[in-house]
Amino acid sequence: MAAHNSTSARTWPSGTIRKAAGALVAMLIVGLTLTIFWNIQHTAVTGSPSVPVDMAHLVRMTALQAGLTTILSLIVGIALAWALNRLRFPGRAFVIGLFAAAIVTPGVVVALGLLQVWGRAGWINALLVPLGFDLGSSIFGLQGILAAHVILDGTFAARILLARLDAIPKIPLKTGQSLNLSPWQRFKVLDWPIMSSALPGLSAIIFLLAFTSFPIVLLLGGGPANQTMEVAIYSAVRLNFDLNGAVQLALVQLVICAAIILPAISFAPSLTSAGNSGGHEWSSGRWMKSCQIIIIALGLFGFALPLIAVLVNGLGPGLMAAITRASFWSAALTSLIVGIASASLALGLTIVLCMARSESANRLTRTLISLPAYAYLVVPAVVMSLGFFLAIRNTGLPMHAAAPVVLIIANALLTLPFALSTLGPTLDTIQRRYRRLGRSLGLSGLARWRLVEWPLLGREIGLVFALGFCFSLGDLGVISMFGTEDFATLPWLMVRAMGAYRTNDAASIAALLLLISLIAFWALPALFGKLSNAQD
């Protein structure tokens, strides 16, 4: 190991610089995390909540909806991945791309889409009421929260598990086919072992995403009975201005999130494909094909219908009224500037951390470099926003001047865990595959980046930039602490429009948010791939 490191440092002079840069970035992130934590803890010990909080109920409700979301999402994800892996049909690539976009679809948009389909004035009720049935407002409550979470997290799980199934090599498939394995035997012997290895990390991520969910619970919760900790923190700050109560809630949430995510980091699945089985054909029987068609149809119905409702209702006659308001263009400009800046910052930090990690063969060093980025899964958006809010308040800085900077930094940090999972494995592979070639050619520094890494990383870099931009564009957690009449992003403007019963404006903003997110997620990786002259 020592000999390997010594050789690497001698033949790749830029390696030491990369390690130092990665260590510096990791320390800066740790410092920022400690600053947020200190401000929260300092406020907690200097006062007590003025509004009584039923902490046990909040923890129980938050854990219940997160646990049910995790179980249902994994069931949906496994079924969809299995069906998509088996079935070949025109448009399959589009369907997979649609499900992959779930990770960047704003939760606030999905919640609004469910209201437009299943709400009192939604599409389903419009069909049922003439027949004598009325669902009323049944979408509000735990069932609505679970439906929205499963739409997003179930399809996210399906994309991860499908990549695992597609990575099964040809030889085991040919062997299983020659042995005439039944569909159940094939699933048990070939599929389940490779999918089950991803389930611990995937479960932890889904549980944490649901545990820290904010916009979905805010819009579909239906009242205090279904309130979660994120919404309680928001209510304590924005509605009651009870900072001490919010801080104590934030501390409890931090402890629970840390207990979940820190052991799960080592199991975190990669967001990129692990390989390809080469399109091996193993036809299923007629009944199995029927099951697969039904599963995919139900998946498309559940995921696409709310999004179609958002587009149909949002791109109607009310669109012109919404986009001719000055507040819309101000919010749109703010969202774009913050999104681009946040994505750029996230990309820069990710590249530095990944390069430093790929230079080291020592497991402990790699973990120490990566851990600060993943640790931000422990700090939910509303808690992070509260920490920044308290830090600015304690230092006396003008809130309106600091707010844009906070949004850029906070959204970039929230992107880091997903960005590291996307870029890290690919950069590690490049390092293993081309180290000797680079050494023989004497490549280092910018030449190494320009000739070796950039052409091979172009698509992943575009994906990381798209993730950062879309996460920032759809963020409602961070802006919830800093949004005002004069400083708003599109999601904040949309929630304000809903609060003022301007539903047409809210629908139009949601439709535009959805379109921008989908276009960015699909176009940016292709654009960066083209710019880097990446070859498949």
pTM: 0.84
pLDDT at 17 over 90: no
Give one DSSP letter per residue of 378-398, joined into a string.
TS-HHHHHHHHHHHHHHHT--
pLDDT tens, 406-450?
999 989 988 888 888 888 888 888 888 787 777 777 777 777 788
Residue pair 15/431 in contact by the 8 Å Cβ criterion: no
Q: Which amino acid is at 310?
A: V
Cβ neighbours for 88, distance < 8 A, ≥ 6 positions apart: 281
pLDDT at 266 over 70: no
* Segment (H or E) for 431: helix 399-441
Residue pair 481/237 in contact by the 8 Å Cβ criterion: yes
Sign of CA dihedral 432, 452, 274, 375: positive
Better-predicted residue by pLDDT, 228 or 490: 490
pLDDT at 51 over 80: no
Instruction: Give the Cα separation of 373 and 420 in Å (integer).
Output: 8
pLDDT at 3 over 50: no
Q: Cβ–Cβ contacts within 10 Å for residue 306, how many?
A: 26
Instruction: Give the Cα separation of 179 and 465 in Å (integer).
Output: 46
pLDDT tens, 80-139?
999 998 888 898 888 988 888 888 889 889 999 999 998 888 898 888 888 888 777 678
Instruction: Give the Cα separation of 80 and 154 in Å (integer).
Output: 9
Task: Write down the pLDDT at residue 336.
Answer: 95
Task: Write down the pLDDT at residue 7.
Answer: 42
Q: Average pLDDT, whole number, for the chain?
A: 83
pLDDT at 535 over 70: no
Tokens 């000797």, residue? 436
From its phi and psi, is residue 442 left (phi > 0), alpha (psi between -120 and 50) or beta? Answer: left
Task: Write down the pLDDT at residue 11.
Answer: 46
**Region 42-64 average pLDDT:** 75
Closest by Cα among 408, 412, 406, 419 to 353: 419
Rank 103-107, 240-244, 346-350 by mean pLDDT and report only the highest: 346-350
Residue pair 114/306 in contact by the 8 Å Cβ criterion: yes
Sort 493 into a burial class: Cβ within 10 Å, 0-12 / 13-18 / 19+.
buried
Closest by Cα among 387, 443, 406 to 33: 387
pLDDT at 313 over 50: yes
Give one DSSP letter per residue of 312-361, joined into a string.
HHHTSTHHHHHHTSHHHHHHHHHHHHHHHHHHHHHHHHHHHHHHHHHH--
Task: Write down the pLDDT at residue 268.
Answer: 57
Q: Cβ–Cβ contacts within 10 Å for residue 395, how many?
A: 9
Angstrom distances, CA of residue 65 to CA of 118, 163, 331, 506: 20, 27, 32, 26
Query: What percent of the chain has pLDDT above 70?
Result: 90
Rank 147-161, 283-297, 337-351, 428-442 by mean pLDDT and report only the highest: 337-351
Closest by Cα among 385, 481, 372, 456 to 416: 372
Task: Write down the pLDDT at residue 328.
Answer: 92
Residue pair 362/19 in contact by the 8 Å Cβ criterion: no
Instruction: Give the Cα separation of 320 and 415 in Å (integer).
Output: 33
pLDDT at 187 over 60: yes
3-state secondary structure at position 478 = coil
Tokens 């609060």, residue? 499
pLDDT tens, 272-309?
554 555 566 777 778 888 999 999 999 999 999 999 99
**Region 305-316 average pLDDT:** 91
Angle in degrees, 0-180, between the axes of helices 286-314 and 503-531, rounded to the nearest 10: 120
Instruction: Give the Cα separation of 264 and 184 in Å (integer).
Output: 30
pLDDT at 6 over 50: no
Instruction: Give the Cα separation of 474 and 442 in Å (integer).
Output: 44
Question: CA torsion, points 136, 139, 142, 146, in degrees to nearest 10?
Answer: 150
Closest by Cα among 275, 243, 178 to 44: 243
Task: Write down the pLDDT at residue 344.
Answer: 96
pLDDT band at 253 (very low <50, low <70, confident <90, very high): confident
Closest by Cα among 485, 471, 368, 480 to 419: 471
Tokens 């990786």, residue? 525
pLDDT at 53 over 80: no
pLDDT band at 229 (very low <50, low <70, confident <90, very high): confident
Residue pair 253/229 in contact by the 8 Å Cβ criterion: yes
Task: Write down the pLDDT at residue 44.
Answer: 64
Task: Write down the pLDDT at residue 267.
Answer: 58
Query: What percent of the chain has pLDDT above 90?
Result: 25
Rank 124-133, 324-333, 393-402, 424-433 by mean pLDDT and report only the highest: 324-333
Better-predicted residue by pLDDT, 534 or 443: 443
pLDDT at 262 over 90: no
Sort 286 into a burial class: Cβ within 10 Å, 0-12 / 13-18 / 19+.
exposed
**Region 380-385 average pLDDT:** 79
**Region 160-170 average pLDDT:** 85
Structure tokens, 194: 């490779």
From its phi and psi, is residue 525 left (phi > 0), alpha (psi between -120 and 50) or beta? Answer: alpha
